[in-house]
Structure 1
């Protein structure tokens, strides 16, 4: 083949000069790849269109499971029906049905059964970013995903997922008529969380998150959920670290006990007899009737049961047996957990707890014999009010010592654990009206230091610094599984031999070994 003649040098210059215009023309004519829209993401189920706000990309109201309505009420979550047209993801999905708790700001009335939505908040920078999956609290019968704005977490390079899960009787009713082929029922809200974690594993990379670096976290019932997922074989491998903020020390019923309670409740509260028509009767109930008749609080009807598949042992027995996933854990409580609940009692009754009524309140909580013993352990002379005395006792028995016991069990099983106590006695309280005593470091007080809530703006300069310090520890834990900066041991990993934890206090956070004595854990968890 003859050699082609060389092109004149000036032709090279002309070609280089006109190349950008030619490429632009090709794009205008429809040639080449279209520009990438960072607010449009293709999930495994279909495309979604989000929005940018607050310095982060937000994708709201994404369904992660099929609506649990009709025949799907009281069934495990099913796969969502895929879609092909772009789904708007700029507004939150409906929250799950729950009662009105006014004047408290914990529950949001209304909602609808079609509520299995999640939200993704992610940095505008390229990933992969560590992922936080946050499970809201609310005693398993209150709460919603859209009460937690994670601006500062996302600014630190974290992709945050919040989710709804079924609540109350709709989420946890166990009943013989609802049993699967293996004789199991209940735990639906927790299975929803597993489905959301599976969604994260499949999809989060498309949003800039790292599916191999997922932290599961929550507060109160959200922490209890996280503990349950740590122990559940169904959640194995779906997350790599766990944060538990104030899980309550409650015991889970066996599957048989939960079903007996469910059948009794269905008959007495819902009007559905335990007969051949029970399942149809329950699924035909208006959702409003279920919400109005179901029990509130930490009821055995609301929460996990040991069904032998999703959960094979109670929390305490499972931790003692070393069944928890071997992942790093960050776990703690607030110093005055129960003041928020005691405040609710005062708001409901319209009167503070009196000194004369203190023994009866202890007997109602612990029984007559133990109540008398507790009165000696928590004498009124030590506290500013009977309400604070009762709150101290229940804080220690229901939260503080149970958290410490779980920390010790996890450490004994080989999990790296970092333990803390939040103790800002002046933490802002906007969740419920003022009462006759100070709420101090109440249940849920620490959330406003980590997420951007309306009350976060009320933090003074020392509290803002505490919030920054706490956020730094949490973010480092999400990134690496260790809350300390590289080379630092400011927050030592928990050791059963020295029993130390980090106490978060404005301007004076310190490592202390006095937690067990302060909360009388030798009484509440002897031998732990």
Structure 2
């Protein structure tokens, strides 16, 4: 695996590993079978760990056959009582070293977890999973401890990879018409389901928070700027999602779609042909990472310009990143037999960021190997800063001009690792905060001081969902740049984020050296 391949994977490794673990980590036998009347029919859930769970509820029709690469359609209602004790299928995603592969296109399901104690008007939190828009599913994430703070949590599936984000002129209906972004349309359909049904589970449909990590965080940003998402949520939490603030045009996305069609045997470039291609062929030929495109319906402009000009939903925002994001990808590269060395450091910089040798040399001068414990840590630092940290600061600075904004950095240098041991500490790597929010039986147990930090984080997330202001956090202002820093055993406030991540340096480089450039490299869809 080359550094460029690590970039293309983005979050696929981090989240796909979690697909090994499904269901609820601490579920106990149901003491009763709660039944709720949804707009589609009655569902019978289970009670576990003091919560009522309703798994595998369809929120849209199966996107199969003629509905492949179509906006989601309403789910058919059912008669009688539907058992909701098992999660629905994950959306199609490739087999690999980690995760649960799927070829089942009947996958548009969601899961609801709510306190077993009856109540009304609880805050609702809708989780959008990560996975480079290629892997993952909602049932991976056990929200039990979040729900114990008095919220209703909904986790969702949505179409992934080529099935979720392929743009092609044959799908547009008319030349230049919208195409692609079907996965985002699925997320919007799930949010409409929540609007209609939240009250039936004790939630408040007028107080909905969307939150997601990495590709899920990018999805949250997409909904913030999407006119089609207006009114579907009231607060937003972006976790490590600012890595692609400039989206490709519809024309560029459709050109990639036409190349993809040819690669799967559709020389006639027809929708009819594409809708008959086996799922296994689509998965084998698709790229390893996607971003939404400016399709004209879901997205009418790129995320960064929309935020900077105030053309986004005026709702409170939490936005943040982890201190050592890119170390995860450096570690995965090392495990694949491609370690960073002093001899290949410049080449690794070029491959990671897609820059020429001269620019790589300038970056290496800013991140000299003598300042770091190893070349791997040095590459992890510059990748973190360029791809995640400084773009996150840009989101803080722009969003805070218009709405209450709260920034954070997860900075537990001893966070349990997702990967086997490597030659360097992985620190607060990409996705490391997820175990502190959700039940994820990976990486070993948290130490007592980490458990205290996890409780504080869950309190921050759920108090934000309740009131729009996370309890005890400073509100972000561009002049002070105060962020909540998550270090065990309890959070502190930091003001040195921009200097720590050398954001002035990255702002001064050519625009090609940006997270967006890396994301565009990441989401190229060449035929394997």
TM-score range with shorter-chain normalisation?
Answer: 0.7 to 0.9
Bigger radius of gyration among the two: 1
1:146 aligns with 2:139: yes
Is residue 2:89 matched to residue 1:94? Answer: yes
Specify the alignment match of 1:5 in structure 2.
none
Is contact 1:402–1:525 with CA below 8 Å preserved after alignment? no
How far, CA to CA, are the matches of 2:490 and 2:207 in structure 1? 32
Residue of structure 2 equivalent to 1:433 = 420
Q: Indicate yes or no: 2:505 matched with 1:523.
A: yes
**What displacement does 1:62 show?**
0.3
TM-score of the two chains, using structure 1 as the length reference: 0.87
1:460 maps to which of 439, 447, 450: 447
SS at match of 1:503: strand
Deviation at 1:217, TM superposition (A): 0.3
Stretches of structure 1 that go unaligned for 5 or more consecutive residues are: 1-36, 485-489
Distance (Å, rounded) in 2 between the aligned partners of 1:455 and 1:110:
21
CA distance in 2, matches of 1:263, 1:421: 40
Q: 1:315 to 1:121 in 2, by over 3 A?
A: same
Residues 55 and 112, structure 2, Cα contact 8 Å, conserved in 1: yes
Out of 56, 67, 70, the position equivalent to 2:62 is 67
Deviates more, 1:89-98 or 1:338-347: 338-347
What displacement does 1:111 show?
A: 4.3
Could you report, residue by residue, the CA deviation over 1:34-80 in whole angstroms, capped at 9, with x for unpaired residues? xxx87111111111111111210000000000000001111110111
CA contact 2:177–2:296 (8 Å) conserved in 1: no
Instruction: Select 1:377's aligned residue among 366, 371, 375.
Output: 366
Give 1:394-405 correspondences, 5 Å limit.
394-405=383-394
1:480 aligns with 2:467: yes
Does the alignment pair 1:449 with 2:441?
no
Give the structure-2-normalised TM-score.
0.87
The superposition leaves residues 114-166 of structure 1 with CA deviations (integer Å, 9 ceiling, x where unpaired) of: 10000000011222211000000001101111111111111111100000000
| Alignment partners' CA distance in 1, 2:103 and 2:413 | 34
Q: d(CA) in 1 for partners of 2:446 and 2:508? A: 38
CA contact (8 A) 1:55 1:123 kept: yes
CA distance in 1, matches of 2:186, 2:458: 28
Does the CA-based 8 Å contact 2:322-2:430 persist in structure 1?
yes
Once residues 328 and 512 of structure 1 are traced to their aligned partners in structure 2, the CA distance between those partners, rounded to angstroms, is 21
Task: Check whether the contact 1:135–1:223 (CA below 8 A) recurs between aligned residues.
Answer: yes
Say which of 198, 206, 227 aligns to 2:200: 206
Paired residue for 1:167? Answer: 160
Q: Matched residues in 2 for 1:59 and 1:476: separation?
A: 24
Partner of 2:325: 337
Q: Which position in structure 2 is the counterpart of 1:247?
A: 241
Contact conserved, 1:405 with 1:525, CA < 8 A, in 2?
no
User: C-alpha separation between the residues in 2 aligned to 1:116 and 1:475?
Assistant: 26
Trace 1:285-300 onto structure 2 (pairs within 5 A). 285-297=277-289
Deviates more, 1:472-481 or 1:159-168: 472-481
Distance 2:360 2:266 in 1: 38
Q: Which moved more, 1:121-130 or 1:229-238?
A: 121-130
The answer to whether the 8 A contact 1:94-1:111 is kept is no
Aligned to 1:386: 375
Q: In the alignment, does 2:487 pair up with 1:493?
A: no
2:514 corresponding residue in structure 1: none
> 3-state DSSP class of the match of 1:406?
helix
Deviations 1:160-211 (A, max 9, x none): 0000000000000001111134611100000000000000000111111110
1:179 maps to 172
Whole-Å separation in 2 of the counterparts to 1:492 and 1:442: 24
| Bigger RCO (CA 8 Å, 6+ sep) | 2
CA offset at residue 525 of structure 1?
A: 3.1
CA contact (8 A) 2:416 2:444 kept: no
Identify if the C-alpha distance between structure 1 residues 508 and 471 changes in structure 2 by more than 3 Å, giving closer, same or farther.
closer
Q: What is the CA–CA distance in structure 1 between the aligned matches of 2:197 and 2:507, rounded to whole Å?
A: 42
Alpha-carbon distance between aligned partners in 2 of 1:65 and 1:136, rounded to the nearest angstrom: 18
Cα shift readout 1:280-300 (whole Å, capped 9, x = no counterpart): 211111101111111103xxx
- Alpha-carbon distance in 2 for matches of 1:462, 1:113: 43
State the Cα distance separating 1:351 from its structure 2 match. Answer: 4.2
Cα deviation 1:370-407 (Å, max 9, x = unaligned)? 21111111111111111111111111111000001011
Give CA-to-partner distance per residue, 1:398-425, whole Å, 9 cap, x none.
Answer: 100000101110011x210010000001
**Is 1:281 aligned to 2:273, yes or no?**
yes
SS in 2 for 1:266: helix
CA–CA separation in structure 1 for the residues paired with 2:307 and 2:321: 18
| 8 A Cα contact 1:65 1:78, kept in partner | yes
When residues 262 and 380 of structure 1 are mapped into structure 2, their CA distance, relative to the original with a 3 A threshold, is same
Partner of 1:123: 115
Structure 2 unaligned regions, length at least 5: 1-31, 512-528
The yes-or-no answer on 1:54 pairing with 2:49 is yes
What SS does the aligned partner of 1:261 have?
helix
Deviates more, 1:491-500 or 1:114-123: 491-500
CA pair 336-514 structure 1, distance change in 2 beyond 3 A: same
Moved over 4 A (4+): none
Name the CA distance, whole Å, in 1 between partners of 2:329 and 2:261: 28
Contact kept? 1:252, 1:304, Cα under 8 Å:
yes
